[in-house]
Amino acid sequence: MIKTYEGMTMNCDVIATIQSVFMNIATGSISEMIDDSFDPDTLEFTVTAFTTLGDEIVLAVYATEEERDYARYKLENWLVYDVGSYYTMTERK
């Protein structure tokens, strides 16, 4: 089970892929690449999961790219080795 930063709990076996993306926190739009429409003041680094049902779920939001990438690395390792326990995503800003 994974507990997202919003407190939502989801079963880890429904996760199809994990992705590092960028999020405009003012509009909630998610993008894999940054373009000119993103305001640096509203840009956050986000980890999302696509489920086997095709839903995209925000797992965590981070202030830096390094924190986001490290969280993704930790989550991917947890999914491979320790799926029997809970994993809690955190939000850092």
Write out pLDDT tens, residues 44-73: 999 998 888 888 888 888 888 899 898 888
- Segment among 2-11, 24-33, 69-78 with least mean pLDDT: 2-11
pLDDT of residue 12: 78
Q: How much is the average pLDDT of 27-39?
A: 83
Q: How much is the average pLDDT of 3-11?
A: 77
pLDDT above 90 for 21:
yes
For the question of whether the overall pTM of this predicted structure is more than 0.85, the answer is no
User: Would you say 91 and 62 are in contact if contact means Cβ atoms under 8 Å apart?
Assistant: yes
Q: For the sheet with 2-3, list strands across it.
A: 9-10, 2-3, 87-88
pLDDT above 50 for 10:
yes
